[in-house]
Structure 1
Amino acid sequence: MKSGKSRTAEKANSEKLKALQHAARSAATHRSYGQAVEHFRKAGHDIPASAKEVATYLADHAGRLAVSTLQHRLIAVHRAHLDAGLKSPAMDPLVKRTMQGIRRTYGVAQRRVKALVKDDLLEVLALVDKQNPMKAARDRALLLVGFAGAFRRSELVSLRIEEVTYFENGMELLLRRSKTDQEGASRTVFVPKARGERCPVKALLQWLELYGAEAGPLFPSINRHDKVVRASLSPQSVALLLKEAVRRAKGQRAADDFSAHSLRAGFVTSAAEAGLQPYQIRDVTGHRSDVTLAKYIRPVQRRRIPSLL
């Protein structure tokens, strides 16, 4: 029979184990999986579920939900079973064939957002300054740093004032986590100085001088009274900010073609057009191979093919 002390230690170890398992996924992933499983339950199913139940759920929502959404929800149901120590119905041939049929019937090419290349960015920046002073300074710095560092929106909002190091020819920003670095190995991104008002380093220093903080989120929220809220922007806010900036410069129809990822895509496309080699682009973007870069670089290369007529 176990003593009280032994049971307490066992409970503490069990809680620690659960906490470590929970930490294996990001908060966003936990939230996303939770929402997916909740949708599965509201459709009349539960965990554990049979392969037939899961296949029926997929078939019921095929054509109404995007294929990628259904795939994500299937993964969430799969993980929910494994986390509970149960056999996953997602591995059953019935479920696999159903998902394969959905992809063949309803699958469409993944939507590609338009890259915000250098000329687009400069056009957008021309109207950014027509906002209230604090918001204008922050948005100019965010757009220029986001482009020059090829940052994802989640990376931009994670940057901190005290983790920027300045050099004579640019600045280095510490990126503690990213989409491809969930374990926090971290890396630094060097952003070089540029000429005049298009310089990301100058824009960031101007913003920080106006902001006046020495630590905290590099890009905080700003309320409708043009006052800083001491909390970082959300990733969604970055997307809305960029869309609004494009809308002012190019109109609503053009804004629909852009997203926060357009900054990162714009850097890669502009770098390829300028003749930078893939390894040089990867040094900035953090890509581990040229496979993902190819979808941006190949169109640029195709446009350089001379006519044979």
Structure 2
Amino acid sequence: MSDLDRYLNAATRDNTRRSYRAAIEHFEVTWGGFLPATSDSVARYLVAHAGQLSINTLKLRLSAIAQWHNSQGFADPTKAPVVRKVFKGIRALHPAQEKQAEPLQLRHLETVIDWLESEAQTAQANADQPGWLRARRDTALILLGFWRGFRSDELCRLQVEHVQAVAGSGITLYLPRSKGDRDNLGKTFQTPALLRLCPVRAYIEWLNASALVRGPVFRGIDRWGNLGEAGLHANSVIPLLRQALERAGIPAEQYTSHSLRRGFATWAHHNGWDLKSLMNYVGWKDVKSAMRYVEATPFTGMSIAAEKRIAP
């Protein structure tokens, strides 16, 4: 790969690149379309999958097709009036409420963290190194994901070198790039130490247990207690969270990795945070994006002293 290709490649997020590649393959191989495409073929492609694929999926497919044409120097067929009109008609005839992850309630957060703590203690007493490490890792991941409002890919890309934690004070986390950081300028996030359900203490306990000094913070652990070199994949966060919740006796099928982010947003909203403060803390730049995460129904979390340490 040339230096030019390397820099061009780095300009697009890995997840976006994979999604676009899959979309182009679906258009060409699965459906039998030809590239460069005509506006008529793109419109027929949309019609063929109307009602089968979600509006968001169709939007992503159009973005991938547009990106391919722009990168290859061809006219973008997705901007043609016929394509826009067909897409508008699909939205009118196939309305669908966007599915959202169930926000993790604070009482469920406390239940699962208490359960993981008991697992850690039992594993340590039984000299079960893999079980002890997993309990410490999962506790830190869940608490950081909740109180910091991180996405799963952000949690999985955290590097030990980019995290500074001071017991009883707070934690500073630097991400070189994230979904909201379009210019890849990097962003620093901070979270204070809490009296209970503390992400700072959980992180320090995980680092002490794992003896990590560099590289990915959250990694796979094999049955002998060996840590992987690479970080966890973002797709592994959902089963990790669900399994922990289920072991704690909480039905977990409605939860995803976004449940941590929505759970925090809901907690903050019902504890008096204004939308601007919430957006600044989590990193949202668009009001509509922020509102999608704020649960409008009454929050059934419990009040704990730890909450008062995080204020807008």
Under a length normalisation based on structure 1, what TM-score does the superposition of the two structures give? 0.85
Aligned with residue 272 of structure 1, among 269, 274, 288: 269
Please say if residues 157 and 233 of structure 1, whose CA atoms lie closer than 8 Å, have aligned partners that are also in contact: yes
Superposition deviation, residue 128 in structure 1:
2.5
1:37 matched residue in structure 2: 24
Please say if residues 134 and 227 of structure 1, whose CA atoms lie closer than 8 Å, have aligned partners that are also in contact: no
1:25 matched residue in structure 2: 12
2:150 matched residue in structure 1: 151
Aligned with residue 109 of structure 1, among 86, 97, 100: 97
Superposition deviation, residue 271 in structure 1:
1.4
Compare 208-217 and 70-79 and name the one that shifted more. Answer: 70-79
Matched-pair identity in %? 33
2:195 matched residue in structure 1: 195
Superposition deviation, residue 209 in structure 1:
0.6
Superposition deviation, residue 262 in structure 1:
0.8
Task: Give the partner amino acid of 2:20.
Answer: Y
Superposition deviation, residue 47 in structure 1:
0.7
Superposition deviation, residue 296 in structure 1:
4.6
Tell whether 2:233 aligns with 1:234. yes
Tell me how far apart the structure 2 counterparts of residues 296 and 26 of structure 1 sit (CA, whole Å).
22
Tell me how far apart the structure 1 counterparts of residues 150 and 299 of structure 2 sit (CA, whole Å).
26
Tell whether 2:66 aligns with 1:67. no
- Structure 1 residue runs without a partner (length 5+): 1-11, 304-309
**Cα 1:50–1:147, aligned 2, differ >3 Å: closer, same or farther?**
same
Tell me how far apart the structure 2 counterparts of residues 52 and 290 of structure 1 sit (CA, whole Å).
35
Under a length normalisation based on structure 2, what TM-score does the superposition of the two structures give? 0.84
Aligned with residue 253 of structure 2, among 247, 252, 256: 256
Tell me how far apart the structure 2 counterparts of residues 223 and 57 of structure 1 sit (CA, whole Å).
44
> Residue deviations 1:137-177, cap 9 Å, x none?
00001101111111111111111112112345211111221
Superposition deviation, residue 249 in structure 1:
3.0
Please say if residues 28 and 34 of structure 2, whose CA atoms lie closer than 8 Å, have aligned partners that are also in contact: yes
Compare 276-285 and 74-83 and name the one that shifted more. Answer: 276-285
Tell me how far apart the structure 2 counterparts of residues 52 and 250 of structure 1 sit (CA, whole Å).
53
Aligned with residue 113 of structure 2, among 121, 125, 129: 125
SS in structure 1 opposite 2:165? Answer: strand
Please say if residues 272 and 300 of structure 1, whose CA atoms lie closer than 8 Å, have aligned partners that are also in contact: no
**Cα 1:127–1:95, aligned 2, differ >3 Å: closer, same or farther?**
same
1:183 matched residue in structure 2: 183
Superposition deviation, residue 183 in structure 1:
2.8
Please say if residues 273 and 300 of structure 1, whose CA atoms lie closer than 8 Å, have aligned partners that are also in contact: no
> Residue deviations 1:163-215, cap 9 Å, x none?
1123452111112211111432112111111124x211111111111101211
Task: Give the partner amino acid of 2:155.
Answer: L
Task: Give the partner amino acid of 1:127.
Answer: W
Aligned with residue 291 of structure 2, among 291, 294, 298: 294
Q: How many residues align?
A: 287
Please say if residues 25 and 182 of structure 1, whose CA atoms lie closer than 8 Å, have aligned partners that are also in contact: no
**Cα 1:213–1:250, aligned 2, differ >3 Å: closer, same or farther?**
same
Tell me how far apart the structure 2 counterparts of residues 256 and 201 of structure 1 sit (CA, whole Å).
28
**Cα 1:58–1:278, aligned 2, differ >3 Å: closer, same or farther?**
closer
Task: Give the partner amino acid of 2:23.
Answer: A
Tell whether 2:139 aligns with 1:140. yes
Superposition deviation, residue 298 in structure 1:
7.0
Please say if residues 270 and 299 of structure 2, whose CA atoms lie closer than 8 Å, have aligned partners that are also in contact: no
Tell me how far apart the structure 1 counterparts of residues 157 and 208 of structure 2 sit (CA, whole Å).
20
1:91 matched residue in structure 2: 79
SS in structure 2 opposite 1:226? Answer: coil
CA RMSD of aligned residues (A): 2.3
- Structure 2 residue runs without a partner (length 5+): 121-130, 301-312
**Cα 1:298–1:118, aligned 2, differ >3 Å: closer, same or farther?**
closer
Superposition deviation, residue 289 in structure 1:
4.7
2:70 matched residue in structure 1: 82
**Cα 1:283–1:89, aligned 2, differ >3 Å: closer, same or farther?**
closer
Compare 213-222 and 223-232 and name the one that shifted more. Answer: 223-232
SS in structure 1 opposite 2:248? Answer: helix
Superposition deviation, residue 294 in structure 1:
3.2
